[in-house]
Amino acid sequence: MPSFLTVVKDTSPLLVYSSSWQAGLSESDGSLDQYTQSSFTDTQAQGSSVTFKFYGSSVGVYGAKRGNHGNYMVSLDGNASPTLNGEANPALFNQTLYSQGMMLGFHNLTVTNKANNFLDIDYIAFETSVGNDNEPLIVNAYHDSHPAFSYAPSSAWSTSPDNVGTFSGASGHATSQTSATATFTFQVSDAVALYGPVGPNVSTNYEVHVDNGAPATFSANKQFYRPQQILFYAGNLGPGQHTLQVQVGESSTGEFAIDYANVFSTPSLGGRQVIFPELAL
């Protein structure tokens, strides 16, 4: 079956940090540009952790190894790794801090700082697979303006989000109204990823559920603005019609915005490649 890799940047809401983590700053770190997209999140507090839930068959945690870094540990599905060390001099960037293969399924990863030295996260990447052996992977991108998206109430949504020029195709939908919803309906796929911005003026609370599943709560409120981040991902959906619904939380402040969604499928699941005129560049 075809496999594909999904990269989740340190600023994605899918990564849930405990207290004492902060964004890397160019003012205090001259090596910021050594990280992907010039972005990383770090901590110097013993016991601080970051958690990531995913559906896949392998996972890797990537960051830097530097002279002021120290020991950390990784737990996968409750199974703790030996103590690992992130110290290196001279500094090394885009390093594999942890990698592990596993049976395809739902997994829970936690990275914990074990000392009062620094630990940073550049990105986490996980691999998953869909369909049957010896068939191609089909990825269709649906822009925010595609009819597969519906917005309610329509009066609450704007087509002029903040920083819209940084969106894919310079187009997006946004709202600051609590309880407003966006619904994305898609067919014959096995996985879906929803993209949008994060930042200091972006929604502090939103809920997502797929089909009749339990809602998951996230925050897109981050120290710095970053466009085109993964706001939500779901795998192992199976063939047929699916509905992904996002609702802005009742206590949320800031603007929630949708850029686009990627849908992953194969021919055996009924998928077909579709070219949408609004995405053809």
Say yes or no: do domains 3-129 and 138-279 share a fold: yes
Average pLDDT value for residue range 92-109: 98
pLDDT attached to residue 130: 86
**Is 72 in a helix, a strand, or coil?**
strand
As given in the structure block, the two tokens for residue 185 are 């309906």
Residue 278 has pLDDT above 60, yes or no: no
Q: Please list the residues that pair with 13 across neighbouring strands.
A: none
* CA triple 40-45-51, angle to 5 deg: 60
17 strand-pairing partners: 50
Q: What value does the mean pLDDT take over residues 2-29?
A: 95
Q: Write down the domain spans for the chain.
A: 3-129, 138-279
Q: What is the pLDDT of residue 274?
A: 66
pLDDT at 281: 33
Q: What is the pLDDT of residues 196-220, one digit of tens each?
A: 999 999 999 999 999 989 999 999 9
Tokens of 240: 């047929």
Average pLDDT of the segment spanning 89-113: 98
Q: Determine phi and psi for 165, rounding to 5 degrees.
A: -65, -15
Q: Which residues touch 275 (CB under 8 Å, ≥6 apart)?
A: none
pTM of the complete model: 0.94
Query: Is the pLDDT assigned to residue 149 strictly greater than 80?
Result: yes
Give me the pLDDT at residue 279, please: 46
Helix residue ranges per DSSP H, 61-107: none
Find out whether 11 and 229 touch, Cβ atoms under 8 Å: yes
Judge whether 47 and 119 are in contact, CB under 8 Å: no
Pick from 116, 115, 112: which is nearest to 50 by CA?
112
Averaged confidence pLDDT in the chain: 94
The gap from C-alpha 229 to its chain's centroid, in whole angstroms, comes to: 6
**pLDDT tops 60 at residue 65:** yes
> How many residues appear in the chain?
281
The Cα-based distances of 9 to 14, 121, 126, 156, 268 in angstroms read 9, 8, 12, 29, 31
Rounded Cα–Cα distance for residues 223 and 21 (Å): 11
pLDDT at 109: 99
pLDDT value of residue 111: 99
Residue type present at position 111: V
Dump pLDDT digits (tens) for 37-58: 999 999 999 999 999 999 999 9
Q: Options 2.60.120.260, 3.20.20.70, 3.40.50.300, 2.60.40.680; which CATH number does 138-279 get?
A: 2.60.120.260
Per-residue tokens: 205: 């609370």
> Which residues make Cβ contacts (< 8 Å) with residue 94, sequence separation at least 6?
34, 35, 36, 62, 64, 122
How far, in Å, are 22, 113, 154, 184 from residue 130 at the CA level? 35, 34, 35, 21
pLDDT for 277 equals 42
Give the model's confidence band at 176: pLDDT under 50 very low, under 70 low, under 90 confident, else very high: very high
E-strand stretches of 144-268: 149-152, 173-175, 181-186, 191-198, 206-210, 216-218, 226-234, 242-248, 256-258, 260-265
- Average pLDDT score over residue span 77-81: 97
Compute the distance between CA of residue 151 and CA of residue 256 in angstroms, rounded to an integer. Answer: 12
Homologous superfamily of 3-129:
Galactose-binding domain-like (2.60.120.260)
Residue 14, pLDDT > 60, answer yes
